[in-house]
């Protein structure tokens, strides 16, 4: 599959493995920010009909975030807890050469290069890690909060 819109591609992928769009953080955030429509049925898909390709028996991986859903907390508090656990991109300025590739590939345009080095707007970042995947110098690292590291280590 290919698309000029990475969010539409992710939404179509969710459809194919029978995920609701709100089950995938980056898709949910993209919908909330108006970067993509709210349903795969609304996407203009070229080629054959993809409905017969939907995998109803796709085995979804377990996640430590599922534990959060079991805790009875108000939605706003749940959202804060999930955000506190979420891995985030972080720049290693010792390695970064300021080429701007991370900013060019960032779907929500959350990376500012006006200072010559990338600065991530954490409110706009959807944690898709395109910046990390496409950085030619591997200067984008994944920052895992302490609580995230604890849960991964002790709740496996």
CB 139 within 8 A of CB 96: yes
- pLDDT for the residue 70: 54
Q: What is the pLDDT of residue 150?
A: 79
Tens of pLDDT along the chain (156 residues) come to 888 899 999 999 999 998 888 888 889 989 999 999 998 889 888 888 888 898 988 776 655 455 555 566 676 777 777 777 788 999 999 999 999 999 999 999 999 999 999 999 988 998 889 999 999 999 999 998 887 777 767 765
d(CA 16, CA 111) in angstroms, rounded, equals 30
Kindly state the tokens that stand for 123.
């409110």
Give the pLDDT score at 118.
98
Which runs of consecutive H residues, i.e. helices, occur in the chain? 6-16, 25-32, 65-70, 75-85, 101-105, 130-134, 146-154
DSSP-derived 3-state class of residue 141 = strand
H or E segment and range at residue 90: strand 88-91
pLDDT for position 134: 93
User: How confident is the model at residue 97, as a pLDDT?
Assistant: 98
pTM to 2 decimals? 0.56
The pLDDT of residue 41 is: 87
| Distant-in-sequence, close-in-space partners of 64: CB < 8 Å, separation ≥ 6 | 85, 148, 151, 152, 155
Domains parsed from the chain with CATH numbers: 6-53 (no CATH), 65-154 (3.30.70.20)
C-alpha torsion sign, points 3, 9, 32, 128: negative
């Amino acid at each position: 599959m290919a698309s000029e819109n990475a969010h539409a591609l992710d939404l179509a992928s969710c459809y194919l493995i029978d995920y609701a769009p709100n089950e995938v953080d980056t898709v949910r955030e993209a919908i909330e920010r108006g970067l993509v429509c709210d349903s795969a049925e609304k996407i203009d898909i070229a080629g054959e009909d993809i409905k017969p390709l939907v995998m109803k028996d796709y085995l979804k991986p377990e996640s430590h975030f599922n534990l959060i859903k079991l805790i009875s907390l108000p939605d706003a508090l749940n959202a804060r807890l999930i955000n506190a656990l979420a891995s985030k991109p972080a720049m290693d300025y010792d390695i970064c050469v300021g080429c701007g590739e991370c900013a060019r590939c960032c779907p929500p345009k959350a990376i500012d290069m006006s200072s010559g080095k990338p600065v991530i707007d954490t409110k706009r970042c959807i944690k898709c890690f395109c910046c990390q995947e496409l950085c030619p110098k591997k200067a984008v690292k994944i920052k895992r909060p302490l609580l995230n590291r604890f849960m991964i280590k002790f709740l496996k």
